[in-house]
Chain A
Amino acid sequence: MATTATPTLAALADRLLDLAKGRTEQAEVYAYETASTPVDFEANRLKSLETKEARGVALRVVKEGRIGLAATTKLDDLPAIVETAIELAAFGAEAKFELPGTIVPTPVEVFATATEQMPVEQMVTLGQEMIDQVRSYDADILCEAGVRRTLETVLLLNSRGGAGSYRKSSYTLVIGGQLIRGQDFLSIWEYEASCDTAIDHRRLAETAIRKFDLAKTIVPVATKRMPVIFTPRGVASVLLPRFSVALSGKSVLQGASALSDKLGQPLFDPRLTIVDDSTIPGKPAASPFDDEGVPTRRLPLIDHGVVASFYYDLQTAGQAGTQSTGNGYRSPESLPSPSTGLVVIEPGDQPLEALLAGVDEGLLVESMTATFAGNIYSGDFSGNVHIGFKIEHGRLAGRVKDTQVAGNVFADMRQLGGISNVAEWVGGSVRAPHILFSELGVSTKSG
């Protein structure tokens, strides 16, 4: 362990590319450096301060037409990384792409100096204030909170001349807690993420309080088919993943997608529009280019109910005979793969109040557990309602328990009961409205 000066990320990337360039047809260095400062509160008080630093590189090569990948955080032996990547390429998939010769970033701001400069003491204060606010509503709530900052530098360099880098800051607030009464456990969480620090922590705590308040009354629900409204969070966590899987260029190429032969078909309610758009500034899921150097763009996936586009990275686009849509994302240890970035579900035309008013007996679902069950490729969803409310005669009557909801996004979203006219951010990666299903299967304990 030498204590010599650590080389910069750019210098490391340059050297690694130089070592790989002459020996391969194509080479690409993905280098990253992150520094996270999570301030976490447990059981109503500050529990820990942390500093997490990481840096590493991944080298993707094309040798004799095939792809190899080596990644490391052990940066003292760059030649070994090149040897490994070349060795692996002998077994790798056939490359169907050319790395971009230039990287032209989409102008999207994802770094805020305010986040970088926020003092840890202030982060501690914000967390404590959120907890105090929730506990002033009900001191029986055992609160947890987080104020977290991550600064990251991403650097891409390839043998065809492409070069680009950006810095990103993310700032996340979490407030929630657990309220136990008798044998009833209620956990409510609110979170918001942004590149800058302009998150209203009081409003976030207030939202948590409102939900605790609504959830205190527990009401019975019947086993039958009934209207169900998914809140933006419910939409993002339960419905959207089914679309993401089905619209991935990779699923389509495999024939695993239920939508693979449906491009251009009006399969969904005409009010439904889903757009992949990582060009929205200030959100941690946004970026100027993807992890292969392809600029991000606004890409309608479902356009007024019509299956409008699939999303691709370079390799799957090459296999499908199309262009990358700028959706090549990766973890440092893996090859890029098609993935959605920031996703927006466009709002509809009805106020939430109107959607609610039309429901005589139904559910409002905020979160579900165990939605992994069933087959995600088939569009099926089912799970246990975690936070959900019974709607009686257009009003929220109270929380439901021991209740399951099941449906299929492809069958049940052909015709929707309605979409609310306001879309809300869910964390830093999805913006979605409330969506009303006219009828879904609801089952519950009969006892």
Chain B
Amino acid sequence: MELRQQLEEAVRGHNADYVEIRIEETEQTQLTYRGRELEEISRTTNLGGCVRAAYKGGWGFVSFNDLGRLRAKAELAVRQARLVGKEQTQLAPVEPHVDIVPLVLKRDPLAVPLADKKRLMDEYIEVAWSRSPKIQTINAGYGDVRRTVTFINSEGTFVQQGRARVAVRLQVLAREDGNVQQARAAFSSIDDYGAMLGRHAEVAEAADRAVALLAAQPVKGGEYTVICDPKLAAVFAHEAFGHLSEADNVYENERLREIMVLGRRFGRPILSIADGAALPGQPGSFKYDDEGTPTRKTYLIKEGILVGRLHSRETAGKLGEEPTGNARAQSYRYPPIVRMTNTLIEPSTSSFEEMLAETKLGIFCKDWYGGQTTHEQFAFGCAEAWMIRDGRLAEPLRGTTLSGNLFTTLENIDMIGRDFAWTESGGTCGKGGQSAPVGQGSPYIRIQKAVVGGR
């Protein structure tokens, strides 16, 4: 194997504590629609690599497109690390292993003719347009990507992994006078083009939602009891707690370590939150992370108690905990950082109907537009909402923002549903200038005293 030999020669025998090389090759196709028109069709191929080296706790990193002279690039990364390092490199041990993880696809998106992909998107767009004369426009996209990452480190690990993703999204805009509202449909799969087919009813439903939102009123801001659907609840778990459990926030932050002490109660006994790339079939699923660490499922909160956090080898090493396989890099242009993979709230015993029935005045929030956290305060946007009056869904509301404080809000989750669902399209999480696909799953949840934005 020519590449492996070259990598082995480049990675070995440096005057450093640790050296790793990643080589990445990607192929992707993108179709972008505005209105009925296929506005953009593109295919991108990428080949590049990076070297990362550690010396006395300092890191050097070199990324490149030109794969020539790999040894010299590794030497540069080592020189940089030696300029930085003054303390001690502490990487949690990971048993060296050699593994080739083949890409197993049910139906390979790359093998599907372009004409078929275009026809599918044309159909979906036509379906959305046909729902109402109030449909103003549709932004839609189809994308598929196949990625092969080869990883080697100076400890003897060599891993080659294939990954793929195919995704369809449609954003439907409806308009009435100056009022413009939107709704979306999104599907994705990590192994099957077939999952993109036959989704016409969901597209129609998205168009109907955009139109329905025209009649919805903005919510009056304030504090409410809020019921979140599984999609929104999953974003809540990601923003409200997931980020704070990423150990890179904690490992060099004494104050935060005191707050995030394992064993501390954060929620009621019904609340359990976990994360893991080993959970199969989701956007954040893979066998090894970008440091070559095997992935697993990690409980962050179990029955209300903080029991774990997400690690890279360095954060685990410094905190004396086990690495969890959560070091991820967007591409070869970036060093890996600690990130969530697939994050979920585990189901409990309530039903949506019970939650409604037990809510005198509140808001039911559905689907999401995004979320953000400043660790202690978090906020996330919901796409649709309804007032709840006397235990029943009442008037529709426009999408709004929910926010809260980590320390009070988790405690305020007082009901968790029994019907768990993954958000099919997952989400894209941004951190440290890198984006990563993440899986998100949850049942319905009810939160007391959530702050709802409004005019």
Binding site for B on A (CB under 8 A): 1-3, 6, 42-43, 46-56, 67-75, 84, 87-88, 91-93, 120, 140, 142, 178, 180, 183-185, 187, 223, 225, 250, 253-256, 258, 333-335, 369-370, 372-375, 377-378, 380, 382-384, 386, 401-402, 404-408, 410, 440-447
A74 to B382, alpha carbons, bound, how many Å? 41
Q: Report B371 CB to chain A, min CB distance, Å.
A: 7
Decide: B66 and A55 in contact? CB cutoff 8 A. Answer: yes
- Which of A225, A334, A382 is B40 in contact with, Cβ under 8 Å? A334
Known contacts A69-B43, A404-B451, then 10 further A-B pairs from the complex at CB < 8 Å, ordered by chain A residue: A43-B253, A46-B84, A53-B66, A75-B65, A180-B255, A256-B136, A375-B398, A378-B178, A382-B454, A406-B401
Decide: A69 and B41 in contact? CB cutoff 8 A. Answer: yes
Decide: B374 and A73 in contact? CB cutoff 8 A. Answer: no
Decide: B377 and A401 in contact? CB cutoff 8 A. Answer: yes
Decide: B64 and A53 in contact? CB cutoff 8 A. Answer: yes
Decide: A92 and B38 in contact? CB cutoff 8 A. Answer: yes
Binding site for A on B (CB under 8 A): 6, 25, 28, 30-31, 34-35, 37-48, 58-70, 76-77, 80-81, 83-84, 114-115, 118, 136-137, 173, 175, 178-182, 218, 221-223, 252-253, 255-256, 259, 333, 335, 369-382, 398-401, 403-405, 407, 449, 451-455
Q: Report B361 CB to chain A, min CB distance, Å.
A: 14
Report 11 cross-chain contacts, Cβ distance below 8 Å, ordered by A residue: A47-B58, A49-B83, A51-B63, A54-B333, A92-B38, A92-B40, A183-B407, A334-B40, A373-B399, A402-B377, A404-B454
- Which of B63, B67, B115, B181 is A375 in contact with, Cβ under 8 Å? B181
Q: Report A256 CB to chain B, min CB distance, Å.
A: 5
Q: Which residues of A contact B404 (CB under 8 A)?
A: 402
| Nearest A-chain residue to B404, judged by Cβ | A402
Q: Which residues of A contact B335 (CB under 8 A)?
A: 48, 50
Decide: B374 and A446 in contact? CB cutoff 8 A. Answer: no
Decide: A187 and B372 in contact? CB cutoff 8 A. Answer: no
Decide: B400 and A374 in contact? CB cutoff 8 A. Answer: yes
Q: Which residues of A contact B65 (CB under 8 A)?
A: 53-56, 73-75
**Which 3 pairs of residues, A with B, have the shortest CB-CB distance?**
A373-B381, A443-B221, A370-B379
Q: Which residues of B contact A69 (CB under 8 A)?
A: 40-43
- Which of A70, A74, A407 is B42 in contact with, Cβ under 8 Å? A70
A254 to B370, alpha carbons, bound, how many Å? 24
Decide: B380 and A49 in contact? CB cutoff 8 A. Answer: no
Dominant SS at the B interface?
Answer: strand
Decide: A443 and B451 in contact? CB cutoff 8 A. Answer: yes
Decide: A377 and B376 in contact? CB cutoff 8 A. Answer: no
Whether A74 contacts B401 in the complex (CB less than 8 A), given A54-B333, A256-B136, A402-B451, comes out as no
Q: Report B402 CB to chain A, min CB distance, Å.
A: 9
A50 to B37, alpha carbons, bound, how many Å? 42
| Nearest B-chain residue to A72, judged by Cβ | B45
Q: Report B75 CB to chain A, min CB distance, Å.
A: 12
- Which of A6, A43, A333 is B252 in contact with, Cβ under 8 Å? A43
Decide: B61 and A410 in contact? CB cutoff 8 A. Answer: no
Whether A71 contacts B60 in the complex (CB less than 8 A), given A91-B118, A372-B369, comes out as no
- Which of B80, B255, B369, B378 is A373 in contact with, Cβ under 8 Å? B369
Decide: B62 and A51 in contact? CB cutoff 8 A. Answer: yes
Q: Which residues of A contact B38 (CB under 8 A)?
A: 91-93
Whether A333 contacts B118 in the complex (CB less than 8 A), given A6-B68, A47-B59, comes out as no
Q: Report B335 CB to chain A, min CB distance, Å.
A: 7
| Nearest A-chain residue to B60, judged by Cβ | A49
Whether A52 contacts B253 in the complex (CB less than 8 A), given A254-B34, A378-B179, comes out as no
Q: Which residues of A contact B58 (CB under 8 A)?
A: 46-49
Whether A256 contacts B137 in the complex (CB less than 8 A), given A49-B84, A185-B374, A370-B372, comes out as yes
Q: Which residues of B contact A187 (CB under 8 A)?
A: 374-375
| Nearest A-chain residue to B252, judged by Cβ | A43
Decide: B40 and A384 in contact? CB cutoff 8 A. Answer: no
Decide: A50 and B61 in contact? CB cutoff 8 A. Answer: yes
| Nearest A-chain residue to B376, judged by Cβ | A185
Whether A72 contacts B180 in the complex (CB less than 8 A), given A50-B60, A384-B453, A404-B451, comes out as no
Q: Report B212 CB to chain A, min CB distance, Å.
A: 14
A49 to B86, alpha carbons, bound, how many Å? 13
Whether A402 contacts B45 in the complex (CB less than 8 A), given A56-B65, A180-B259, A378-B180, comes out as no
Whether A370 contacts B401 in the complex (CB less than 8 A), given A69-B41, A73-B65, comes out as yes
Q: Which residues of B contact A70 (CB under 8 A)?
A: 42-44
